[in-house]
């Protein structure tokens, strides 16, 4: 499977998109920026606004204090391979640091309805692997729409052609392929059936058709995001500088939320390579998770 993916990426990379230059136009008369490259989220701004912050934007002078409060109580990092320990930056849009990725609703909170809150409050199940979150099962991770940055450095490779945009996240997801101006996948998937189109210099991706039994979207240490089978996720990618990519999205899902909600953040260009994430080749931890969950509680 990995050799097929590598071959596919190599083939499309050898046919780059035809990009517009001043005084020229692409064959379909659209001006397109090249989003290709390796990107990463180099910030620790949470999805939801923490209780000690009231405003979406804060001045530069307040960032240090905000970060100290955000990191308070976080356990020490003992994994030498973990690269997120030194992150102390907040995502900034238009040069203004943000206290949350969510921009709507104004309070920066996920607008869960009663059904959504009940789903979030469900205790983890250990009856079988099918009941564990997709990331533990190596079938889905942070790139599933909407993209949720983790608290560690996870490079994201983007390959762009006229017909496709390909996401290759160094995480459980593997490769996500989005057709541009073409047909979408017919059957429901964890990533949904996606279709991309250009709106000026912004690539818009609309996804529907999500798996009913895989609504869970992980948020490390925080409330999970849930995406139901009737949801629509609209993503917008805009190159705002040679080294900055604005990622904005909207989730519309009446099964879990009282209203549509929006988020946005900036990805930075990454100078290092990406590596294979061979999740299933060493996923022995699933056995330990299930055995540990089934063990009776120790007697007092």
More confident residue, 257 or 84: 257
Token pair recorded at residue 208: 């529907």
Q: Rank 17-21, 86-90, 171-175, 254-258 by mean pLDDT and report only the highest.
A: 254-258
Task: Say yes or no to pLDDT of 64 above 80.
Answer: yes
pLDDT tier, 228 (very low <50, low <70, confident <90, very high otherwise): very high
Lowest mean pLDDT among 78-87, 147-156, 219-228, 235-244: 78-87
What lies within 8 Å, CB to CB, of 238 at 6+ separation is 33, 201, 202, 203, 245, 246, 248
- Alpha carbon distance 172, 137 (integer Å): 9
SS3 content of the chain, % helix, strand, coil (to 5): 15, 25, 55
The reported pLDDT for the residue numbered 26 is 38
Judge whether 251 and 231 are in contact, CB under 8 Å.
yes
- Alpha carbon distance 187, 226 (integer Å): 19
For 194-212, write each residue's pLDDT tens digit: 999 999 999 999 999 999 8
Task: Say yes or no to pLDDT of 137 above 50.
Answer: yes
The reported pLDDT for the residue numbered 300 is 57
Lowest mean pLDDT among 84-88, 120-124, 175-179, 200-204: 84-88
Task: Say yes or no to pLDDT of 5 above 50.
Answer: no
Mean pLDDT value across residues 148-164: 90
- Alpha carbon distance 66, 90 (integer Å): 9
Mean pLDDT value across residues 172-191: 81
- Alpha carbon distance 183, 188 (integer Å): 14
The reported pLDDT for the residue numbered 107 is 97
Measuring CA to CA, how many Å separate 207 from each of 77, 94, 211, 299?
36, 27, 12, 49
Closest CA to 6 of 157, 172, 185: 157
Neighbour count for residue 268 (Cβ, 10 Å): 16
Judge whether 45 and 101 are in contact, CB under 8 Å.
yes
Beta bridge partners of 247: 237, 265
For 93-118, write each residue's pLDDT tens digit: 999 999 999 999 999 999 999 999 99
What lies within 8 Å, CB to CB, of 83 at 6+ separation is 152, 153
The reported pLDDT for the residue numbered 296 is 85
Judge whether 214 and 140 are in contact, CB under 8 Å.
yes
Domain map (residue ranges) of the chain = 2-280
Residue found by looking up tokens 């949904």 in the block: 192
Mean pLDDT value across residues 42-63: 96
- Alpha carbon distance 181, 104 (integer Å): 29
Beta bridge partners of 202: 199, 238
Task: Calculate what percentage of the chain has a pLDDT beyond 70.
Answer: 84
The reported pLDDT for the residue numbered 31 is 61
For 25-39, write each residue's pLDDT tens digit: 334 545 689 999 999
């Amino acid at each position: 499977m990995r050799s097929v993916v590598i071959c596919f990426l190599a083939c499309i990379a050898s046919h780059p998109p035809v990009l517009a230059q001043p005084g020229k136009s692409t064959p379909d008369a659209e001006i397109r920026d090249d989003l290709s490259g390796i990107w990463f989220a180099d910030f620790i701004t949470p999805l939801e606004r923490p209780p000690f912050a009231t405003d979406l934007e804060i001045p530069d002078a307040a960032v240090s204090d905000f970060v100290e409060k955000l990191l308070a109580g976080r356990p020490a990092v003992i994994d030498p391979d973990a690269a997120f320990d030194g992150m102390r930056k907040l995502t900034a849009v238009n040069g203004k640091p943000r206290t949350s990725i969510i921009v709507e609703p104004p309070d920066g909170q996920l607008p869960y309805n009663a059904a959504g809150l009940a789903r979030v409050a469900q205790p983890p199940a250990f009856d079988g692997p099918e009941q564990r979150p997709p990331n533990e099962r190596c079938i889905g991770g942070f790139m599933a729409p909407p993209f949720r940055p983790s608290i560690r450095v996870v490079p994201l490779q983007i390959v762009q052609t006229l017909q496709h945009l390909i996401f290759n996240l160094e995480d459980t997801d593997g490769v996500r392929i989005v057709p541009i101006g073409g047909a979408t996948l017919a059957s429901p998937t964890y990533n949904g059936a996606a279709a991309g189109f250009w709106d000026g210099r912004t690539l818009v991706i609309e996804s529907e058709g999500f798996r009913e039994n895989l609504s869970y979207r992980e948020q490390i240490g925080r409330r999970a995001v849930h995406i139901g089978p009737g949801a629509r996720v609209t993503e917008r990618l805009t190159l705002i500088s040679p080294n900055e990519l604005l990622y904005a999205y909207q989730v519309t899902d009446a099964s879990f939320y009282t209203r549509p909600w929006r988020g946005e953040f900036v990805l930075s260009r990454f100078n290092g390579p990406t590596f294979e994430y061979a999740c299933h080749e060493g996923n022995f931890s699933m056995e330990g998770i299930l055995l540990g969950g089934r063990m009776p509680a120790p007697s007092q």
